Chain A
Amino acid sequence: MAETLFQKVWNAHAVRTRPSGQTQLFVGLHLIHEVTTPQAFDMLRQHGWRVAFPDRTFGTVDHIVPTDTQRRPFVDLMAEEMTTALERNCREFGIHLAGPGEAGGAGSPGSDDQGIVHVIGPELGLTQPGMTIACGDSHTSTHGALGAIALGIGTSQVRDVLASQCLSLDRLKVRRIDIEGRLAPGVYAKDVILTIIRRLGVQGGVGFAYEYGGSAVDRMTIEERMTLCNMSIEGGARAGYVNPDDTTFAFLRGRRFAPHGDAFGRAVAWWRSIASDADAPYDDRVRLDAASIEPTVTWGINPGQSVGIGEPLPSAPGDTAVDEALAFMGFAAGSRMEGTPIDVAFIGSCTNGRLSDLQEAARIVRGRRVAPGVKALVVPGSRAVSREAEALGLDEVFRRAGFEWRGAGCSMCLGMNTDRLEGRQVCASSSNRNFKGRQGSPTGRTLLMSPAMVAAAAIAGRVVDVRSLLNEVPA
């Protein structure tokens, strides 16, 4: 019988079906970080449980770590305490940690690998097709870009996965989303996913896994697919994935934790076999025309509230959600995002903090200057991304233009570390959430867009159509 990747992977990992109908699902890879695990480890100790599969557990620090300097001990004492707690827990339970380096030391083993958990998983080849992956972070859906079923979980579930390597879950339905045709220059995966969320709603994906496909997705790199899958959760879908193909296999070849030698060929055979069958049944299907997508910017307080750069903001008298968002943002119904002054430009996050994101942004920035009064920062998603970008001289391109070039971490995506908006600042951001208060100031305002659009906004000091800069050579 024809099946989707979701069904095949789910069935391969099902330990048993509970009488209630939930599946006890084996988790093939458990990624952990400093913010959602300390309580889980405490619960483990309290019950005297061990970590069931320490070899299938991998840790890093990303949310709370400072990105201005990562020398230990951190000036931020809570960052130091939470990092130390994770280091202690990983040591005690025998878990590999890609830490920031020991306090006062020259760097612990593996610390070259530190970075945002959803950036380093694929980068190290830990993330592979056909796996089930869990992490105490909703953007775990990112890993679906390689054909894995990856789920965000809470801390009690982190405890369960540590103790048993399993979760108890209801099976998801699958919605196939075909994006057909070619994206115009200046239009990126970020614009595609913002458009999908706008069309299907922030809640449209509840109960579903999103399977992305179609000719536009077939042409996407793995990094672009990661951007797409990353924001599945913003559309309510707990998981999103792309079927593995030659692009996937080429991406994985040679990565440290990917299979090597003969095993790689055998792996490819299995990976191909778990892709959705051509005639697989879907619970729903949606089709989008890639060519119709414009550079997209959010104007409101959830990721579904976005417009194409050429479109006016909605005018919906009496719609309380629209009214609330416009009032919070200080925008007028019917106005346009183009020309909106910005105070901060943030390039980074698990959505758009990978090398290709930085390269696209650097294309815009090269030979130009950040507008006066704009605080602009680039935060690579991992130390590996940093190193690769520096080898290409991108750090210099950004610095010369007036950007800060930071260490790896989540930084200004969320108000958990020292990078935060202040007051009513407006931030052009390549991150994933424009919720009220998300970037650390209760009244701060976030405009989500692609990294290239953020770069363009940084240069102009206001929201502009990145296509105008792509076509114009700087003096």
Chain B
Amino acid sequence: MTRDAPGAAAVSVITGRGIPLRGDDIDTDRIMPARFLRATSFEGLERHLFEDDRAARPDHPFNDARFAGAAWLVVNSNFGCGSSREHAPQGLARAGIRGIVGESFSEIFQGNAAMLGVPCFAADRQAIERLQTLIEHTPNLIVNARVDSCLITAGPLRLTATLPAALRDGFLSGQWNPTAMLLDRFDEVRAVAERLPYLNGFEDVRP
């Protein structure tokens, strides 16, 4: 699957089973340990997700066959903090994760996931914990989200999440990967470069 084609399809509804991963401040070193960044491609990263955490904890959700094939990852607060390595969301996306819902996310992680078409929805702790518990008890439960309303439903649970407006618009319009937009009207980019004092010998400085 190509995950880097600009002008990719809109992401408006995400439906599938979930995998609950409890814990605050789960950093990208834990999601994808550094030794797996020793490669010139992202291929195969899905095999190494949470590799050290999984070895330390046989009951880690990513070891649990009941959650295999999940499209949703349900996390707690500050998920994806630390290193900016895109290898973390790449691994998740390549493992089939198409949406993440949690209490909060690191900004860089949320942005990197968005570049792969994976929205990170935020909701309050109580709602997240209920969703995690629900999935733990009913792994086959289908979680459904509409990107426009940020309404997430799962069995009896309905929760209204949030998504930064710009990311939401990008998913809905299919422009979650902005390269084409950034390349459009390149003359405007050049115009900014021509105005910046440090790119022009500080010739025209008006303090």
Contacts and interface: CB of A to CB of B under 8 A. Distances in A.
Interface in A147-169: 152-157, 159-160, 163-169
Interface string B2-41: 0010100000000000000001110101100111011111
B182 A24 contact: yes
A276 B31 CA distance: 38
Interface stretch (B62-70, B101-109, B138-146): B101-109
A38 interface: yes
A131 interface: yes
Contacts of B104: 203, 206
B81 A203 contact: yes
Contact of B78 (A155, A236, A324): A236
Contacts of B196: 12-13, 26, 28
Interface in A293-349: 302, 321, 324
A154 B85 contact: yes
B111 A154 contact: yes
Interface string B187-206: 01100110111110111010
Contact of A154 (B108, B189, B195, B207): B108
Interface centre among A18, A20, A46, A207 (most CB of B within 10 A): A20
Given A35-B37, A206-B104, A207-B107, A138 B84 contact: yes
A22 B38 contact: no
Nearest to B36: A416
A28 B35 contact: no
A81 B40 contact: yes
Interface string A17-32: 0111110101010000
A164 B107 contact: no
A289 interface: no
Given A78-B39, A154-B115, A203-B78, A435 B202 contact: no
Contact of B164 (A13, A38, A159, A170): A170
A134 B189 CA distance: 16
Contact of A263 (B40, B81, B202): B202
Interface stretch (B127-135, B148-156, B173-181): B173-181
A236 B106 contact: yes
B124 interface: no
Contacts of A82: 38, 40
Contacts of B6: 47
Given A22-B166, A206-B104, A267 B181 contact: no
Interface centre among A53, A128, A155, A234 (most CB of B within 10 A): A155
Nearest to A84: B40
Contact of B207 (A14, A164, A203, A272): A272
A103 interface: no
B168 to A, nearest CB: 8
A15 interface: yes
Interface in B30-74: 30, 33-35, 37-42, 52-53, 55-56
A259 interface: yes
B193 A168 contact: no
Interface string A256-291: 000100010011011011000000000000000000
A173 to B, nearest CB: 12
B181 to A, nearest CB: 7
A229 interface: no
A163 B77 CA distance: 34
Contacts of B169: 19-20
A216 to B, nearest CB: 27
A371 interface: no
Interface in B86-127: 86-87, 89, 104, 106-108, 111-112, 115-116
Contacts of A66: none
Contacts of A435: 27, 29-30, 82
Contacts of A35: 37
Given A206-B106, A415-B35, A437-B29, A270 B179 contact: no
Given A236-B81, A436-B30, A206 B197 contact: no
Interface string A395-410: 0000000000000000
Interface in A171-209: 202-203, 206-207
14 contacts: A39-B41, A81-B40, A130-B197, A156-B86, A159-B179, A164-B189, A206-B78, A233-B82, A266-B202, A267-B205, A302-B27, A415-B34, A436-B52, A442-B55
Given A236-B107, A267-B198, 6 more contacts: A39-B41, A164-B182, A206-B78, A238-B108, A415-B33, A436-B53
7 tightest CB-CB pairs across the interface, nearest first? A154-B86, A154-B112, A442-B52, A273-B207, A20-B166, A156-B115, A164-B182
